[in-house]
A and B are shown apart, each in its own frame.
Chain A
Amino acid sequence: QSALTQPASVSGSPGQSITISCIGTSSDVGSYNLVSWYQQHPGKAPKLMIYEVSNRPSGVPARFSGSKSGNTASLTISGLQAEDEADYYCSSFTSSSTWVFGGGTKLTVL
């Protein structure tokens, strides 16, 4: 149950696009279309932003999109806004019927 691999930090200017990668294995990301992405602001509870690789829950802006290729999932945020500054976590269901999270990525909006 090793954690998924995410970059520790990414940054971008308002209006730009950024992509956060999430590298797993054939036992998790590569085997299931059950990858989720969560946004967490300091002192707040995590919020689901993407589920099942590319689906957005109601209320999540269309600026947020997800994709997957092989063992790597990605979250793209286009038209960056100041309120997007937060920690982002990917997670995947695994072949052990458990969930595993990535280490988290701190997004800074310059």
Chain B
Amino acid sequence: EVQLVESGGGLVQPGRSLRLSCAASGFTFHDHAMHWVRLAPGKGLEWVSGISWNSVSIGYVDSVKGRFTISRDNANKSLYLQMNSLRVEDTALYYCAKGHAWGTSGSMDVWGQGTTVTVS
């Protein structure tokens, strides 16, 4: 069974940092792009960042560029999101999602249950 388990969320003050992790299992991790998507309270889904299978292609939504860094460890089947200079508006449930293909242009076909980040 394909499974994604996020961790690392919590309560943090504005300006501080947090590192999210996503542990993957049940599929060939290094064959797929991976993404982070967030759901802020009372709002809709927002794509945050994506990374290709080999980390060559990386993208971010404008609002997190220069503050967030996505990375992956294929050997350990893990995805990460380093979040610096956090803002109140970054408060959200952060989902890890598996890409349908090796590149970031594939849709997100499996999602984790999310980890909550509260900036206050």
**By the criterion CB–CB under 8 Å, are B47 and A103 in contact?**
no
Interface residues, chain B, CB within 8 Å of chain A?
A: 35, 37, 44-47, 50, 57, 59-62, 95, 97, 100, 104-114
> CB-CB < 8 A to B35: which residues of A?
99
**By the criterion CB–CB under 8 Å, are A100 and B45 in contact?**
no
Give the distance in Å from the alpha carbon of A101 to the alpha carbon of B45 in the complex.
6
Residues of A74-91 at the interface with B, using a CB-CB cut-off of 8 Å, are 87, 89, 91
A36: contacting residue among B60, B61, B104, B108, CB under 8 A: B108
Smallest CB gap from B49: residue in A: A98
- Report the minimum CB–CB distance from A1 to chain B (whole Å): 5
**By the criterion CB–CB under 8 Å, are B46 and A101 in contact?**
yes
Interface residues, chain A, CB within 8 Å of chain B?
A: 1, 3, 32, 34, 36, 38, 40, 45-48, 51-52, 57, 87, 89, 91, 93, 96-104
Smallest CB gap from B46: residue in A: A101
Known: A46-B37, A91-B45. 7 other contacts (CB 8 A): A36-B107, A45-B113, A46-B45, A48-B110, A51-B100, A91-B47, A100-B47
B47: contacting residue among A34, A51, A98, CB under 8 A: A98
With contacts A1-B61, A51-B107, A98-B60 taken as known, whether A89 is within 8 angstroms of B45 at the C-beta atoms is yes
> CB-CB < 8 A to B107: which residues of A?
34, 36, 48, 51-52, 91
Give the distance in Å from the alpha carbon of A82 to the alpha carbon of B12 in the complex.
40
> CB-CB < 8 A to B112: which residues of A?
45
With contacts A45-B111, A98-B50 taken as known, whether A89 is within 8 angstroms of B44 at the C-beta atoms is yes
Give the distance in Å from the alpha carbon of A19 to the alpha carbon of B10 in the complex.
38
> CB-CB < 8 A to B37: which residues of A?
46, 101
> CB-CB < 8 A to B44: which residues of A?
3, 87, 89, 101-104
- Report the minimum CB–CB distance from B99 to chain A (whole Å): 10
Most B Cβ at <10 Å: residue of A45, A51, A98, A99: A99
